[in-house]
């Protein structure tokens, strides 16, 4: 038999083929504007050709700082089509955090909306970063090329070359502000698996209409976006999340799939105008980002009759899925691995735990990141190698498996706080706060919040003789962190619990404040 040397098409080629064979179908919707697959393919080709004309291709990075709009999709996909890696950067972190991430990824070009272009132009030490390749979307600014003029000057034909499977596709930063953010690097091969397996898990199909409302720097948004587009479906981009407007959009576009964080679902079911909108088109609701309360699940079920899927995972590339059927039997579980993935529970001795025994969750998946950008030591530390030489991703989360293989979480990865579906890393807040001359020690933990799920609490040890005011400390810290990282409460202590090496034992702090909520702290 003759062997044929074939290569599976990567995402960019899928999009090219959708532009050829599904040219008249709707690909992207923003407000009243609809972009067909034929138009989307042509536009991402223009973006790719424009970047290629700058000499930007595989091996380069392009930073994208844009709010949710139609152009965001074509730009992200266009960067991928050029061969360069797209680096979506959060818009809600501090200027210092943005500067840190840009200096880390050293982009060959920056594409930004007007507000972010202004922030970057005003930053110290940024003059040499993409100095001659800066593009502004929806405005004009000195030193920046206007996007639509630049794009329309490029050829609409496909670039000659396609990215290779192992070329870098995306770098997603895990943290912000003054801490040391890690760029999570995924190849085109990994992102294809991410999209295809996501489409299977979320039951997305060619006739599906998926709404994206979270920022495009969120990996959850990337899952919704790529899973919908890889099958030739339709993506509806919302400029943000406002419950009544979101409900109106569901009705207007006959949305079939939603991927939201629990806070968004709560706001929808509590929206007074909810009953005024027809949401019968919905087929699958998916949730991730925080554990969802049973009470909220019941309210969602009473609101809309469709499938409900919960996901647990890491941007680094491992995930479990809990279907609505399994969720009714095992409401506190986070499910089982996505199709094609595997997991183990490791004890402190590095051996596989028995059923019911807690340990670190490690995952094996084609979704897994290739490495942490510019961080070889941290990359090596993030994997566990089994006896067969296979590398499993160390999640840092503690959990156990029941007799049916369902996973249960016991502790959060690296003390991370999840507030309103957004990941907050305490080290970022602590690094900013410790600069105060009267703070000797600080530890930030999450406490229960009825609306947000969790909210940051700063536990402070004042320097000897210092008399600190809680409200003044709150204001001082929150002026120095990103909007989503603001501390809600401050507590003062004479000392913090530490181990023999002087490391703060946050688990002990969490025990001290266990059961403490907003009302207790305000009392």
Q: What are the tens digits of pLDDT across the range 465-496?
A: 788 999 999 999 999 998 888 999 999 999 88
Residue 119 contacts residue 144 (beta carbons within 8 Å) = no
**Burial class of residue 17, CB neighbours in 10 A (0-12, 13-18, 19+):** middle
d(C-alpha 391, C-alpha 272), whole Å: 50
* Averaged confidence pLDDT in the chain: 90
Mean pLDDT of 238-262: 96
Pick the CATH number of 11-240 from 3.40.50.980, 3.40.50.800, 3.30.750.24, 3.40.630.30: 3.40.50.980
Structure tokens that stand for 333 in this block = 């579980």
Q: Is the pLDDT of residue 289 over 90?
A: no
d(C-alpha 330, C-alpha 401), whole Å: 12
Q: Is the pLDDT of residue 500 over 50?
A: no
Contacts of 455 (CB under 8 A, 6+ apart): 417, 419, 446, 447, 449, 488, 489, 518
Listing DSSP states for 343-388 in one string gives EEEE-TTSSBPPTT--EEEEEE-TT--SEEET-HHHHHHTEEE-TT
The Cβ-side half-sphere exposure at 87, using a 13 Å CA radius, reads 26
At which residue do the structure tokens 């709010």 appear?
67
Domain layout of the chain by residue ranges: 11-240, 333-411, 415-522
d(C-alpha 506, C-alpha 323), whole Å: 33
In terms of residues, how long is the chain? Answer: 523
Mean pLDDT of 42-71: 97
Low-confidence winner among 55-64, 164-173, 494-503 (lowest mean pLDDT): 494-503
Instruction: Find which of 284-293, 388-397, 500-509 is predicted with most confidence, using mean pLDDT.
Output: 388-397
Superfamily (CATH H level) for 415-522: ANL, C-terminal domain (3.30.300.30)
Instruction: Find which of 160-164, 226-230, 258-262 is predicted with most confidence, using mean pLDDT.
Output: 226-230
Superfamily (CATH H level) for 333-411: Luciferase; Domain 3 (2.30.38.10)
Q: Is the pLDDT of residue 384 over 60?
A: yes
Please tell me the predicted confidence (pLDDT) of residue 403.
97
Please calculate the CA angle 270-257-311 and round it to the nearest 5 degrees: 80
Query: Facing residues of 267 across strands?
Result: none
Of 257 and 450, the structure prediction assigns the larger pLDDT to 257
Please tell me the predicted confidence (pLDDT) of residue 236.
98
For helices 114-121 and 95-105, the axis angle rounded to 10 degrees is 80
Q: Is the pLDDT of residue 179 over 50?
A: no
Going by pLDDT thresholds of 50, 70 and 90, the confidence category of residue 416 is: confident
Please tell me the predicted confidence (pLDDT) of residue 2.
55
- What pTM did the predictor assign? 0.81
The Cβ-side half-sphere exposure at 332, using a 13 Å CA radius, reads 7
Please tell me the predicted confidence (pLDDT) of residue 426.
80
pLDDT, one tens digit per residue, over 1-45 is 555 666 689 999 999 999 999 999 999 999 999 999 999 999 999
């Amino acid at each position: 038999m003759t062997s044929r040397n074939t290569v599976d098409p990567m995402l960019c080629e899928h999009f090219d083929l959708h532009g050829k064979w599904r040219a008249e179908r709707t690909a992207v919707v923003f407000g009243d504007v609809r972009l067909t697959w034929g138009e989307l393919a042509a536009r991402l080709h223009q973006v790719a050709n424009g970047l290629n004309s700058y000499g930007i291709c595989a091996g380069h990075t392009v930073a994208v700082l844009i709010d949710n709009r139609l152009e965001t999709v074509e730009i992200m996909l266009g960067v991928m089509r050029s061969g360069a890696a797209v680096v979506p950067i959060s818009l809600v972190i501090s200027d210092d955090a943005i500067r840190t991430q840009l200096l880390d990824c050293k982009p060959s070009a920056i594409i930004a909306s007007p507000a972010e272009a202004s922030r970057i132009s005003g930053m110290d030490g940024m003059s040499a970063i993409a100095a001659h390749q800066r593009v502004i979307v929806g405005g004009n600014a000195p030193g920046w090329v206007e996007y639509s003029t630049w794009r329309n000057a490029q050829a609409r034909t496909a670039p000659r070359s396609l990215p290779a499977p192992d070329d870098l596709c995306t770098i997603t930063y895990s943290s912000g502000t003054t801490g040391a953010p890690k760029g999570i690097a995924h190849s085109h091969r990994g992102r294809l698996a991410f999209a295809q397996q996501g489409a299977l898990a979320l039951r997305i199909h060619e006739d599906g209409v998926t709404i994206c409302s979270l920022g495009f720097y969120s990996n959850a948004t990337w899952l919704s976006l790529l899973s919908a587009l890889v099958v030739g479906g339709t993506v509806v981009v919302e400029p943000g999340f406002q419950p009544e407007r979101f409900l109106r959009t569901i009705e207007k576009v006959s949305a079939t799939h939603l991927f939201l964080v629990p806070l968004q679902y709560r706001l929808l079911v509590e929206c007074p105008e909810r009953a005024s909108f027809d949401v019968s088109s919905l087929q699958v609701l998916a949730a991730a980002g925080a554990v969802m309360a049973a009470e909220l699940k019941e309210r969602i079920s009473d609101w809309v009759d469709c499938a409900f899927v919960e996901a647990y995972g890491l941007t680094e590339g491992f995930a479990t899925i809990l279907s609505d059927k399994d969720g009714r039997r095992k409401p506190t579980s986070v499910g089982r691995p996505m199709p094609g993935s595997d997991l183990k529970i490791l004890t402190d001795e590095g051996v596989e735990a028995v059923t019911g025994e807690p340990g670190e969750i490690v995952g094996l998946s084609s979704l897994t990141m290739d490495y942490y950008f510019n961080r070889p030591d941290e990359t090596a530390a993030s994997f566990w190698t089994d006896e067969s030489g296979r590398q499993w991703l160390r999640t840092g989360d503690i959990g156990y498996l029941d007799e049916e293989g369902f996973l249960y979480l016991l502790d959060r990865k690296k003390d991370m706080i999840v507030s309103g579906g957004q990941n907050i890393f305490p080290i970022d807040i602590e690094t900013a706060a410790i600069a105060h001359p009267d703070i000797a020690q600080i530890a930030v933990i999450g406490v229960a919040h009825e609306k947000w799920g969790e909210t940051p609490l700063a536990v402070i040890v004042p320097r000897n003789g210092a008399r600190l005011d809680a409200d003044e400390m709150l204001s001082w810290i929150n002026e120095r962190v990103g909007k989503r990282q603001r501390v809600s409460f401050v507590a003062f202590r004479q000392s913090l619990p530490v181990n023999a090496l002087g490391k703060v034992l946050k688990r002990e702090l969490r025990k001290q404040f266990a059961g403490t909520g907003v009302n207790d702290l305000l009392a």
